[in-house]
Amino acid sequence: MTTNETYKLIGSVEELKWFFDHVIQKPNVNESYSMVFVSRRKKLNEEERKALGMAANETEFLSTQSLRLGKYHNQADLESKPVWTFEKFLQHVYRFEVNKNAYLTTGGQPLPQKSLVVIFYVNPCDDMKVADEMIKKVADTKTAICKAMLNGKQLDSNLQSYQVFGNLESSIKHLKANCKGTNYWLDYDVDVPAWFKEGRVEAGETVTPYQELTDVFDHYYGKGNYVVVDTGGGYHVLVRTFKIMFDPHKVCKDIEYIYERRVAQGAEPYVNEKGECKFEAIVNDSQIPGIPLPGTLQYGRLVTVLNKEDFK
């Protein structure tokens, strides 16, 4: 296939700017942020996958961008605006909007918009930890190869060990998602049915599930200390870590109660084709939580922050 079309990922520069100004913190000199261009096979049914020629082992993580401080020569440079700017951040996001020929399915077809998303890791990684882990991995691999040879093993028996050196770039990307730097935000991942969101801004509405959810976060953390990111499947709620002075899982129980009470009152249960409950309210316990980036398109739908008024 040959085309001049590009993948479309940015939906609102204004939304990106708000998220940069209010959520993304300036990293330390040993830290950096990562964002990933992803194609989710699960968003396509079996017929669509076959039509696209999408293999079962099709790569989902397509490319990664790292964002760190700009060039500096002394302490005064670190305090200046040019080393950390929205313009540089936006430039990195635009790098995902490449020609569609850059990423094709095994069958040679472009990836459909409904499968694409940009994941942003909301806390920076510690690049010194990344370097330490990478050095250790390389050293351990060299030692393993040497000992294998000393013990009389042939090349075929430890050939896969050499792949470590060709996969250094991939290993570093993985380490950047796991070597935690400064911990600014805790992520609550809430998966909800469509009715949970309905009517949340309708005049005259009594108390909507969304309003009840924000009441829970107001009670535990206070306005201005959490950010509600509206995604296709629910919400990611980012909470300032310095406000956590109790077991954060208590909040999940309160959110579950909102859902369960509505179902008891007659709302349709949120279940999959097997009848299993799909509703979920959990603390994202990954090393560095990743969320769909506000201002970009998640499966063709704009990701936004709902409670911007709390930060005025």
pLDDT tens-digit profile, the chain (312 residues): 667 899 999 999 999 999 999 999 999 999 999 999 999 888 888 888 888 878 777 778 999 999 999 888 777 777 777 889 999 999 999 999 999 999 988 888 899 999 999 999 999 999 999 999 999 999 999 998 888 888 888 777 777 888 888 889 989 999 998 999 999 999 999 999 999 987 544 445 567 899 999 999 999 999 999 999 999 999 999 999 999 999 999 999 999 999 999 999 899 999 988 889 999 999 998 878 899 999 999 999 999 999 999 998
In a domain, 294, yes or no: no
Q: Is the pTM of this model over 0.85?
A: yes
Q: Within this chain, do residues 76 and 170 fall inside the same structural domain, yes or no?
A: no
In a domain, 298, yes or no: no
In a domain, 301, yes or no: no
**Rounded Cα gap, residues 312 and 224, in angstroms:** 9
Q: Within this chain, do residues 94 and 171 fall inside the same structural domain, yes or no?
A: no
Q: What is the pLDDT of residue 4?
A: 85
Q: Within this chain, do residues 276 and 237 fall inside the same structural domain, yes or no?
A: yes
Query: Which secondary-structure segment (H or E) carries 33?
Result: strand 31-39
Return the number of other C-beta atoms located less than 10 Å from residue 99's C-beta.
13
Q: Within this chain, do residues 104 and 153 fall inside the same structural domain, yes or no?
A: no
Q: Within this chain, do residues 137 and 228 fall inside the same structural domain, yes or no?
A: no
In a domain, 220, yes or no: yes
In a domain, 296, yes or no: no
In a domain, 1, yes or no: no
State CA 139 to chain mean position distance: 31
Q: What is the pLDDT of residue 199?
A: 54
**Identity (one letter) of the amino acid at 279?**
F
Q: What is the pLDDT of residue 202?
A: 43
Q: Within this chain, do residues 53 and 102 fall inside the same structural domain, yes or no?
A: yes
Q: What is the pLDDT of residue 1?
A: 61
Q: Within this chain, do residues 282 and 219 fall inside the same structural domain, yes or no?
A: yes
Q: Within this chain, do residues 272 and 210 fall inside the same structural domain, yes or no?
A: yes
**Rounded alpha-carbon distances, angstroms, from residue 304 to 201, 211, 232, 252:** 15, 17, 10, 22
Q: Within this chain, do residues 207 and 279 fall inside the same structural domain, yes or no?
A: yes
**Identity (one letter) of the amino acid at 253?**
K
Q: Do the beta carbons of residue 258 and residue 209 sit within 8 Å?
A: yes
Domain count, the chain: 3
In a domain, 311, yes or no: no
In a domain, 7, yes or no: no
Q: Within this chain, do residues 21 and 104 fall inside the same structural domain, yes or no?
A: yes
Domain that holds residue 257: 185-287
**Rounded Cα gap, residues 196 and 270, in angstroms:** 10
Q: Within this chain, do residues 140 and 56 fall inside the same structural domain, yes or no?
A: no
Q: What is the pLDDT of residue 92?
A: 97
